[in-house]
Amino acid sequence: MNVQIIQQRLLSYNCKTEIDEQHAIREITQDVVLAALGRSDFFQHALFHGGTCLRIFYGLNRFSEDMDFILQEPDKEFSFENCINPLKDELSAYGYNADITDRSTAGAAVKKAFLKDELIGKVIEFQYQNQTGPMNKIRIKLEVDTNPPIGSGSELKYVDFPFVSSVAVQDRPSLFAGKLHALLCREYAKGRDWYDFIWYTGRDIDINYTFLTSAIAQMGPWKNQGIQVNETWLVGELEKKILSLNWGQVADDVRRFIPINEQQSLGLWDKELFLQQLAKLRKFV
């Protein structure tokens, strides 16, 4: 019966292509994982953040592959060990044959686990996909930052699929701050980051400068330099970044993560577009 819940959920996506179905079944799996974690004590200690959080709870219209979390308080002893078996059991109840492997490196602050299911095509009926094809192999990475920057805001949200569950998440100003840190400090340009930048700046979302300052001090080219991030500094550094990028390449990175009806707009990606979006931050300076 629970398998039918997943099947009906997939049908509700009204998928038009094989890629649509691939994204849909992975998103549905993420929903099950999140609800299962919410039924445990996981969110007494952790906050959901990142692109998947933004999609599920705030309406971002792009697919996100990973599920990212930060601890509410640093804990170098955190382990996925207590999460894996209950999560497997919950997924099994909905027809999954999931393998979840802890791939954390000793001493690393970010703990990693990988969920995979190579048999989902044997359980769920796909309209566009071959049941033995590679598109039916689910891969989801789960990451927990056990030593996050200080100062994050949070709020309590609820999911109602496949059952009602509570989830502690970063608030939008903190999520925006985390995204800005990625834009400035990631070693390569990621189109998904800049897609999210348009989303944030189009909604007049405030920035948690305490969290951003802590993140800048913790990791990246300004690590341990004592920079107190403010609006003027932020706008100046973002402008340098915008002027330095090859926007054709950046746009190509995000193409497969957004709906087909949005992809034409990627042809508009250039420095003028992003400088215009940046100007929406200048009004606060």
Joined together, the tokens standing for residue 37 give 């974690």
Is the CB of residue 270 less than 8 Å from the CB of residue 210?
A: no
How does DSSP assign 37-105, residue by residue?
Answer: HHHTTGGGTEEEESHHHHHHHH---S----EEEEESS--TT--THHHHHHHHHHHHTTT---EEEE-PP
pLDDT of residue 263 exceeding 90: yes
Over residues 152-185, the pLDDT tens digits come to 999 999 999 999 999 999 999 999 999 999 999 9
The answer, yes or no, to whether residue 282 has pLDDT greater than 80, is no
Show the domains of the chain with their CATH numbers: 2-170 (3.10.450.620), 173-282 (no CATH)
> pTM surpassing 0.85?
yes
Q: Residue 117's closest CA among 144, 155, 88? A: 88
In this prediction, what percent of the chain has a pLDDT beyond 70? 95
Residue 212 has pLDDT above 90, yes or no: yes
Which range has the worst mean pLDDT, 119-123, 251-255, 256-260, 279-283? 279-283
What pLDDT score was predicted for residue 132? Answer: 47
| Nearest in space to 192 (alpha carbons), one of 203, 207, 182 | 182
Q: What's phi and psi for 200, nearest 5 deg?
A: -65, -50
Q: What is the average pLDDT score of the chain? A: 93
Half-sphere exposure of 123 (CA within 13 A, CB side): 25
Buried b (16+ CB within 10 A) or exposed e, 60-70: bebbbeebbbb
Q: What is the mean pLDDT of residues 11-15?
A: 93
